Amino acid sequence: MAKLKDLAQMEDRLVAGHGMCLGCGIPLIFKIILRATEDPLIIANATGCLEVCTTIFPRTAWNVSWIHSAFENAASTIAGVEAMYKALKNKGKIPADKKIKFLGVGGDGGTYDIGLQALSGAVERGHEFVYVCYDNNVYANTGGQRSSATPLGASATTAPSGSKSPGKIQGRKDLAQIMVAHKIPYVAQASPHRWQDLYNKAKKAFEAVGPAFLNVLCLCPTEWKYDESKGIKLAQLAADTCVWPLYEVENGRYKINYKPKQKKPVLEWLESQGRFRHLFKEENAWIIEKIQQDVDRDWEWLTRLAEISSRP
Amino acid sequence: MKAVKILNGNQTIAEAARQINPDVVAAYPITPSTAIVETIAQFKADGMISSEFVCPESEHSAMSVCIGAAAAGGRVMTATSSQGLALMWEMLYIAAGLRLPVVAAIVNRALSAPINIHGDHSDTMGARDSGWIQIYSENCQEAYDNFIQAFRIGEHLDVRTPVLVGLDGFIISHSAEPVLIEDDREVRSFIGEFKPVFPLLDTSRKITVGPIDFTDYYFEHKRSQIEGIENSPRVIEEVGREYGQKFGRFYGFFEEYRMDDAETAIVVMSSAAGTGKDAIDELRSEGLRIGLLKPRVFRPFPHEKIAEALKKIKAVAVLDRASSPGAFGAPLFTEIRSALYDYGQRPKIVNYVYGLGGRDINVEHFKEVAAKLQKIAETGKVEEMLGYLNLRE
Ligand SMILES: Cc1ncc(C[n+]2csc(CCOP(=O)(O)OP(=O)(O)O)c2C)c(N)n1
Ligand code: SF4
Ligand SMILES: [Mg+2]
């Protein structure tokens, strides 16, 4: 078990001075993930809040080798870096014992949407890398447009609520399941409020042989519209309502890492954020009902998968 | 050992790639360049190259892999055509902007729609402002020679710019001809070791590649990128000369064919220049003083040298294998016409778009052009500045 005290003493690979919003979940997530390996690390970062806020030339908040090339290709970019590493090792231009870890990073837009193909391809080809999606449910960097990770009923600027619209009318794409379907050694969902769990998952991902994928819930006070001091409690609420289950799939076996003693109604989650405010109008009541049904269905399904996996 | 082999254009490029043995090859199949990718894959499967061969799920990813690999710090190549190059478009600019000397063999093919698999230059002409150096080849031998030189040019520390080598789809890619393949070791020694500049894989340096630039820096960074390609003419000349000294085939920015006392001239790139030269021979034997100029390097455009070569000609026809809808002439024509603007003495100039979608161009079409040029030279009058060849109207 990692101790917070020890982690705190490690060198920061993402340092202070970046321009992310007050209460943003991104630095929180990456400060933990980047501590989960002590090997040299190279990161390819998709366009999005993390990339833009950390590297406004001539400053950089990265104390680690880092590249940004475009929005949809963090996975293929890191695959290229990894391929070169293998090539130069084969040719003896890099010492055989030199270990480097490779990390692709994207938001939900860069991962669920525009970068899904590149991620699928890189994972299918078996490049040795970890991919982390920080899922804030929205294109935050560009001002709050919908993504396929935006939940049912949330208002986004390209799926706004209005007198004739309850906000986004589609549910979320289940990216973690898509990644499981690639039959890679490690897939997990995590959240920053359980830092130990996030740390463990990042460590497993870095140590996996083959590609590994982490989907991490990312708080975004700016687009979710809540008081930024409440962030970590919100993350807890996402787990307690089962809106964001914490689980991992190791070599195809499911394990739920957190089961709320008493599953809270999604209503509490919806009430906590301005992006859902319009759902409390009478005509939108059916949406709230539907959200609860969807969450219950998904949780039930996940529980069954974990149950099957626990059988010998 | 060097040897003459009977190879088509695709096999020739693959053969050069085998000799060069780049660190990473990332490429996606598309007609007519597929065989380059397949052949390199087979070389890898047979242990004839030690390159990492990556076969991504799209050309967009192929170029992204090239970018990641080149930034990591090594020699990188790809090959594609047409829609594949179009799908790479976003990443072409990024490879150039990050100053990564990726080399690409582009087997020129028409762009959809309508879908067509045959050769024209609309693909690479669409990428002409992407910041890549562009070199075009008349035949398999030139494709081989250009491809080898491309690594030296792009990787030169004063240049550090990606380079594409064009060869015409089917006409070159699928036509076998004798090609002198130089000795493996000689080719390798000509190219030399790759010199990484700020490689990501040197993890002790912890560099940030590709940060965001705003109004305060973007412009200066773009300016310095442009400087790279502006430095390239000197390097292109040096490399072409050194290649000639080593292998006996010298290269410059363009080739002049029977231009010495020419009164009229045809400018045409790539495979059609071969047909053009035959036509020039016939026309010369009929007593016409006509020559041909074949641009090899299109980016950077050798504007001064071409203008010097053409300024005393009475009438020039520029043949373009690409159109630029709505523009005042096709790409090669606008470059040349603009290059001549400052000269007091300059030729009358016309433009013909030919060969779109692989439409044939033969000696008769060149003769048609020659007749029109002759009339312009005699009358000093241009009746039709922009036209087409071998097209049913
Ligand atoms: C090809 C392309 N399309 C669109 C954009 C504009 N764009 C930049 S970032 C972004 C949204 C990023 O959303 P996400 O991946 O969720 O990251 P976040 O901003 O939430 O951190 C968009 C649409 C782009 N840079 N490139
Ligand atoms: S918009 Fe959201 S994700 Fe982006 S920096 Fe601000 S809080 Fe973080
Ligand atoms: Mg997002």
Report how far residue B62's alpha carbon sits from residue B270's, in angstroms, rounded to the nearest whole number. Answer: 26
- List chain A residues with pLDDT less than 70: none
- Residue B215 tokens, joined: 């109004």
The ipTM is: 0.98
Residue of B nearest to A120 (CA): B57
Nearest CA to ligand 1 atom 1: A71
Report how far residue B12's alpha carbon sits from residue B140's, in angstroms, rounded to the nearest whole number. Answer: 6
Positions of CATH 3.40.50.920 in chain B: 254-388
Q: What is the CA radius of gyration of chain A?
A: 19
Cβ within 8 Å of A, B 221-280? 221
Q: Are B187 and B20 in contact (CB under 8 A)?
A: yes
Q: pLDDT at position A2, please?
A: 82
Q: Taking CB atoms and an 8 Å limit, are B60 and A90 in contact across chains?
A: no
**Cβ of A115 less than 6 Å from ligand 1:** no
What does the pLDDT average to over B63-69?
A: 99
Amino acid at position B147, single letter: F
Positions of CATH 3.40.50.970 in chain B: 3-247
**Domain encompassing residue A220:** 4-310
Give me the sheet containing B254-257, strands edge to edge: B254-257, B290-295, B264-267, B315-320, B348-353, B386-388
B254-388 CATH fold: Rossmann fold (3.40.50)
Q: Determine the atom of ligand 1 nearest the C-alpha atom of B90.
A: 1
Total number of domains constituting chain A: 1
- For the domain that residue A142 is a member of, what is the CATH number? 3.40.50.970
Report how far residue B386's alpha carbon sits from residue A286's, in angstroms, rounded to the nearest whole number. Answer: 65
Q: pLDDT at position A312, please?
A: 87
Q: pLDDT at position A1, please?
A: 72
Cβ within 8 Å of A, B 77-136? 90-91, 94, 98
Q: Determine the atom of ligand 1 nearest the C-alpha atom of A147.
A: 16
Determine the distance separating the centroid of ligand 1 and the alpha carbon of A211, expressed in angstroms: 24
Residue B316, φ and ψ in degrees, nearest 5: -125, 135
- In chain B, what residues touch A78 (CB-CB under 8 Å)? 68
Report how far residue B182's alpha carbon sits from residue B203's, in angstroms, rounded to the nearest whole number. Answer: 37
- Above 90 in pLDDT, residue B21? yes
Q: Taking CB atoms and an 8 Å limit, are B61 and A86 in contact across chains?
A: no
Closest Cβ–Cβ partner in A64, A91, A118 for B64: A118
In angstroms, the Cα distances linking A294 to A174, A243, A300, B52, B118 are 12, 9, 10, 45, 52
Q: Are B199 and B34 in contact (CB under 8 A)?
A: no
Half-sphere exposure of B267 (CA within 13 A, CB side): 27
Q: pLDDT at position A104, please?
A: 99
Tell the burial category of A287 from Cβ atoms under 10 Å away from its Cβ (0-12, 13-18, 19+).
buried
Task: Give residue-wise pLDDT tens across range B202-211.
Answer: 999 999 999 9
- Residue A2 tokens, joined: 């990692």
Q: What is the DSSP letter of B356?
A: G
Q: Determine the atom of ligand 2 nearest the C-alpha atom of A107.
A: 3
Determine the distance separating the centroid of ligand 1 and the alpha carbon of B343, expressed in angstroms: 49
Give the DSSP per-residue string, A216-278: EE---HHHHTS-GGGHHHHHHHHHHTTSS--EEEETTEEEES---SSPPPHHHHHHT-GGGGG
B3-247 CATH fold: Rossmann fold (3.40.50)
Cite the DSSP H helix spans in B55-195.
59-73, 82-97, 122-126, 140-155, 184-191
**Cβ of A245 less than 6 Å from ligand 1:** no
CA distance A13 to chain B (A): 10
Q: Taking CB atoms and an 8 Å limit, are A86 and B52 in contact across chains?
A: yes
B206 — contact with chain A (CB < 8 Å)? yes
Report how far residue B291's alpha carbon sits from residue B263's, in angstroms, rounded to the nearest whole number. Answer: 8
In angstroms, the Cα distances linking B131 to A73, B88, B208, B226, B251 are 20, 13, 22, 8, 22
- In chain A, what residues touch B98 (CB-CB under 8 Å)? 69
> Of all residues in chain B, what percent carry a pLDDT higher than 90?
100
